[in-house]
C-alpha cells in the first residue's frame, strides 16, 4: 500500500491528515486502482558503455537519430518587401505554407519519436542483456548437474559388489 502521507502534503491544522490518508488507503483498496505503465513523450538516448550488448556504432546512430528527428520542422525568416501591401501578402502566404508544411512535419515527428522510443527501449531495456545472462546461468547449472551425475555414477559403481 503506498505511503499516502509521503505522496500528498496538506498543510492545514484544521484537517486531520492521518484520517485523510487512511480514507485514501481504504478507497484504494475498494476501487482496486492499480498502477500501470504508460508511454512517455521524451526518451533520452543511452550513452555507449563497454558492457552494452550492442556495438558502439549502434549507440552512435541512435544518438544521431535523437538529435536529428525533429529537423523536419520548417522555420524561415518572414518574407519582406519594400511595398507594405506586397509585404503583408507575402507574409500571409508564407505563414499559410508553413502552417500546412509544419502540420505534416509534426505528424512525421510523432512517427519518428515513436520509432526512436521503441529502438531506445530495445537497446537499453534491462532484459535486453538477459538472454546472454540466462544462457551463462544455464550453462553453469548444466555443468554443475553433469558433475553431480558423474559423482553419483562414480559412487554407484563403487557400491556395486
Q: Which residues bind other proteins (CB under 8 A)?
A: 2, 4, 6-12, 14-15, 20, 23-24, 27-28, 31, 33-35, 38-42, 66, 69-71, 73, 75, 102-103, 105-107, 109-110, 113
For residue 70, the minimal CB distance to other proteins (Å) is 5
Judged on CB neighbours under 10 Å (0-12, 13-18, 19+), 35 is exposed
For residue 50, the minimal CB distance to other proteins (Å) is 27
Beta carbon nearer to other proteins, 81 or 107 = 107
As a residue count, the chain comes to 161
Compute how many other C-beta atoms are within 10 angstroms of the C-beta atom of residue 62. 20
What does R_g of the chain's alpha carbons equal in angstroms? 31
Beta carbon nearer to other proteins, 28 or 79 = 28
Beta carbon nearer to other proteins, 42 or 160 = 42
Alpha-carbon torsion (58, 63, 69, 75), positive or negative: negative
Amino acid at each position: 500500500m503506498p505511503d499516502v502521507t509521503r505522496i500528498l502534503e496538506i498543510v492545514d491544522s484544521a484537517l486531520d491528515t492521518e484520517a485523510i490518508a487512511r480514507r485514501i488507503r481504504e478507497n484504494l483498496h475498494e476501487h482496486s486502482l492499480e498502477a500501470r505503465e504508460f508511454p512517455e513523450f521524451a526518451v533520452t538516448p543511452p550513452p555507449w558503455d563497454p558492457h552494452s550488448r550492442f556495438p558502439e556504432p549502434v549507440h552512435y546512430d541512435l544518438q544521431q537519430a535523437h538529435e536529428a528527428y525533429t529537423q523536419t520542422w520548417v522555420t524561415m525568416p518572414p518574407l519582406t518587401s519594400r511595398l507594405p501591401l506586397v509585404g503583408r501578402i507575402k507574409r500571409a502566404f508564407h505563414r499559410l505554407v508553413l502552417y500546412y508544411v509544419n502540420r505534416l512535419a509534426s505528424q512525421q515527428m510523432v512517427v519518428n519519436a515513436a520509432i526512436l522510443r521503441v529502438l531506445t527501449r530495445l537497446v537499453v531495456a534491462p532484459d535486453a542483456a538477459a538472454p546472454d545472462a540466462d544462457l551463462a546461468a544455464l550453462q553453469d547449472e548444466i555443468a554443475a548437474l553433469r558433475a553431480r551425475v558423474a559423482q553419483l555414477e562414480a559412487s554407484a559403481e563403487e557400491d556395486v559388489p
